[in-house]
Structure 1
Amino acid sequence: MATEKPAAPPAPRAIAKLPEAVVNRIAAGEIIQRPSNALKELIENSLDAGATTIRVTVKEGGLKLLQIQDNGSGIRKSDLPILCERFTTSKIKAFEDLSSLGTYGFRGEALASISHVAHLSVTTKTRDETCAWKAAYADGALIPLKPGGDAAPLPCAGNDGTVEDLFYNTPQRLRSLRPANEEYARILSVVTAYSIHNAGVSFVCKKTSSSSSSTGDVNTSIGASTLDNIGVLYGEAVRRELVEVQAVSEELGVKVRAWCSGANYQAKRSTFLFFINHRYVDCTSLKRALEAFYSTLLAKNTHPFVYLSLSISPSKIDVNVHPTKKEVAFEDEDEVVQLVCEKLAEVLEKQGESRSYKVQTLLPTSGTPTAPRTLAGSSATATPAASTSRKPSTSSSTKPAKVAPNKLVRTDAQSQTLDAMFPTLPTTSTIRAGDKTREAADDQDRSSKKRKSDHNPAFASQLAAEQAAQKSARVRIAQSECALTSVRQLRKEVVEARHEGLDALIKGHIFVGVADLETCKSMIQHQTKLYIVDHAAIGEELFYQLGLRHFGRFSRIKLQPPQDLRKLVQLAVDRASGGGAGNPAPPKIVERVFSTLHGARAMLDEYFSFSISDDGKIESLPLVLPGYSPDMNKLPLFLLRIGAHVDWEHEKPCFATFLRELAFFYSPAPSPTAPPAPHSQDQVDAQKRTIQHVLFPAAKQYLVPPEKLLKKDVVLATSLEALFRVFERC
């Protein structure tokens, strides 16, 4: 039986350079994805030109006609020949100008891209010229305004620019767009956002079919404020529910100004208008944080209104990360988001507002209707007049939704805790008569507070408030400014390795307790699930990331007196080899490690505040987390490991491996080589308190957890649902 031979693999295709027209059209498709993108670019050009009046006219959702009229500074006639060529701009001269950019446009691709996918005409006039000039463009070049004419600007009267037949040469894109009314709705959303942010600039947006030339779907005046424009565009009902939020952080270099809805606001969909350095952008982290904030404030299935403007130093923001400038990247993103949420919480708390409801009293059949009244939760309740002819109807919808027992999570400090079921044991420490130590007094005070809180609900509330105040008073660790490419890459790798599910778990966890110090196991709760976590592994990853955060700006732990580097290295080698006084460490190893660290002392001091004197004495160590001290029993091993494991030849691996070893030194794991030292009960309690009140709060605030922690360091122990299934069978 004959067998068929396998087909020969196809020959490799030749690589050819695409024609310039194809390249330009592909690039245009990335920037101009739909009519609203073209409009956004044109509005930003008008605002950059100092326009105070912008008028938009639209036909068939912007596909047939998109006309912009403004009173800006205009374009010089001499610049019109290259106006629509790619990468022609008046905003920047060099790449370094992006670090101080204060305008909307900068790449010089907007008009060029529009000319590759639409028929574009520009009519412009500067204040110094006696007449306007009109020019037409196709594929980035000037074309005749009339067939057979000259491809040059012609004098005329007018101040408008027109985009016609958008996507006429890209039928696939044209077919993929939504109907004209939906595209027009997107255009209105862009004009609405920019009119709110640019209070003082008059915006008009209308369809060509509108009968009156003075009105439109968007119509704002020059003298209106931001809040006035919100009232005009979203209604007075929205305007009344907004509160102003302002914040300034010199440390982060950011200014916040916002108008946000309060507890009384009810809407079926969210409205988020984010502007960063005056750019209308999407910010996923900010949106997610505000949605989580409002989820605890608003009624179910209701959503907030937020207009937010962030002003950040141009040197801390990268505007060139998205083809349509829809997104930007900026430093200290988590800290800025936290600042916004904290300030919003403060403003809403000061308002002291409660939810209000419109109700109608229950009336007899022959009575006169009573005007609706507003019932506020914090004010005196109004009792409706009951009818004598019929019983009031009771609606089941007024009852609060009942939560299943297996979904309940304890959040009330007045509820009884498990600790209250166990007797309080007397302290084992010896206290001399008449000389009670401060630590013992603090322990007794804490025990007293614990017993009071279990039996006194008012005291429990006060204690919970004190603990919340202590939690909010944590030290903020700002990220240092570093121009080294290697450090920036390492920081970027940390962010890219983030695991969303684990990040939500760490950010929203509740600490339960330390299960075992020897094996470094602690227990945390997230919603209805209980997890066993390796607090040493979590601490080691946290300290590595904090080391990157501190890079070049570490605080110092000064050693008094300074410690001899050579002796500490020798001690570490003795421990590792199992040697002692009769079996000294090999001198070559000790000298090699000593010479390596002594030779790198200038770099260690500059970047890590790790100071070694000329005579080989360790004078200071880097402080990674305020309030947390490393185990000095691990110092000899730390010195040996950085001398042997750090890649001192290459910059990026050097910083990465050194910070990993520094994180190992700081982690709460016991030293694998140092002999176990006896610990008193007070020392054990102090270690547990440090893990609970310093390590895990810092992880909640700063840790960006990678996926590798899920493999063995975070294990699901049980869940409330699983426990209920077990007890139901009993």
Structure 2
Amino acid sequence: MTEPLPIRRLQESLINRIAAGEIIHRPASALKELLENCLDAGATSIRVTVKDGGMKLLQIQDNGCGIRRADLPILAERFTTSKLSTFSDLSRITTYGFRGEALASISHVAHLSVVTKTKTETCAWKAHYLDGALVEPKPGQTAEPKPCAGNDGTTIIIENLFYNTPTRLSALRSASEEYSRILDVITKYAVHNPKVSFTCKKTGSPSPDLSTPSSSDVPQAIRLLYGHSIAKDLLHASFGSKKKADGDEDMEVDESEVQADGESWTADAHFTNPNYQSKKMLFLLFINRLISYRLVESSRMKRALEAVYSGVLPKGASPFIYLSLQINPRDVDVNVHPTKKEVHFLNEDSITDQIADTLQQSLASQMSILLTMHADASDRRARRTGAVDVEETEREKSERGLRMRGDVGAEPKPAQPSAPKKTLSQYKVRTSLQDRTLESMFPVRDPTQIDDTAKGKSAAADTSKSREIKESECILTSVKRLRQKVIKGKHKQLSEILEKHTFVGIVDLNKCLSLIQHSTKLYLVNHGALAEEIFYQLGLRQFGNFSRLKLQPPPPLRTLIEIAVELEETTEESGLTKPQIVDRIVDILMARRDMLAEYFSFNISSTGLIESLPLLLRDYTPNLDKLPSLLMRLGPQVDWNSEMECFDSFLRELAYFYVPGPLCSGADPQTETEEEKAQEKAERWQIQHVVFPSLRRYLAAPKGLLDRDVIQIASLPDLYKVFERC
């Protein structure tokens, strides 16, 4: 048997470091302690500044009551607090903090400095702390607090956190992950304190990463901090053994009532309905709601609420729940965890069960509403399509009515056959492409054709006979990757809208705005942006196998580039004169004319004449007035040093050249010449009869077009609702 080791008293510095490790184990935990101090001080504005995830700098500034000059010498000593004087005070505690360990612990593992000012003092005071005691800021100076300029309130500055505990420092994650934990803590306190303004930013950043106003409520704070996807699906419930009246946010519980009733509590909950689903549960629990709030955890309550949602959400989906409990302080034991992360309170099981039951009832009623709406929507779809047996629909309605009334074992009565219901006007959809458009009242043949062989043929007939554009065979890896990128970026819903759309008309030719219809919705689209994307994809589709658009007579390359460069307002940024710019662009294109001819059918003769351009779409002729601009842009805008980037940027420039529209927009219609009017007429024809049919047939629409180029402006069912109200 070995001899027992002697028991020794630990050194004071070691005791303090162990205590600091329990309370301050990462920057976010230090911030949590300091945020609670700010809120206990009555702050209405809290600003947090972070560097390297809080490991280099963590600064918290508030506009609270401040700290008295006389209290600064013992501010960072352990168990110094203004919130507790006797043990019996624990049964009446209504503040976040009460132990007085946060600043002491921080001073043992970081360099701590404090700037504070009360409303009665004429100046602010700055003090520096190390290992719980005042220290001189610089060698040769005294350790006493120094007067300085400052606003009312307190600023806590923590530098070089865990500088003397390398093991703890090495256990921390990356700076970005620690910063995300800091934002998470601030977000939760900001939700629970909507009347307080919170700001968090990195040092050197011009704008904050988190900012909230000082005048809002909990639902507004949730919308601002967690997004509209959660806020739009929020449900609210207030309940408890003692109901509070509207506006009694700080209602205190009478102790005589507690003795008579045995318990007194209220709860305020904001939780998501079954429409919202997340991979991870967001559970915000605060106790108490008397004067201040505390962010705590209750594993039993969390499991109970997860069980409530397990019956309404799919497997693996989780909800968002914010719960604020207001319990008499006499029923709460706040001194059960070193970091105040957990609390115990009387009748915890009973309160948890009541909260779970209330949330379950709210979700059940919401589910009934959603089921009714879904069933009604299914019936409407069935009536529109006419593909559902009417007798079967009536039977399903009868069964749904029995379920909602609770008659589980009842048998539905046999449905009486009835005549199919008429499709309502607001759900009638025009799907025929032969129906009238805005331009169909003025029928014209293709104005771009100069021969007379097409007389008597309609535009639709001409378009229908256009040959299919097949994808060329290409062994180049770069081209294959670009094609895969187009397929991968396809937005399914937008592509379906464009594939099945009905052209309505051109709204504004100069602004490239047109109207299309899909189902019962009307969309305003930027046909210029859509055309640029389809021409890019057609260029990829025909890579190495383009038809040629021959130019007769072939114009000289240099002359066209000189025209474009001369029109440029300034070329000073390039550091070259205009003749030098022309020479450089000509050299670039002439050096690569073999590649341009082989891959793009872009033929430039050895003498510098442009013989042909790639033809991307049959029956479509680009505006050749833009050719000088295209040639000039091919020099600096195409990445000629990398194969994939070269092909991609060249096709983008070519697509931009093909976009319909004049070189200069905004001309006065009254001053237009006959030639300009004819050109505009031809352009309108090409947009309607060539561009939009090609969109319907070939475009894999990317999601980026939804940002500003495709906008829903009307919905037939919604319009009928407006008319019904009128």
Which of the two has higher C-alpha Rg? 2
TM-score for the superposition, normalised by structure 1: 0.48
TM-score for the superposition, normalised by structure 2: 0.49
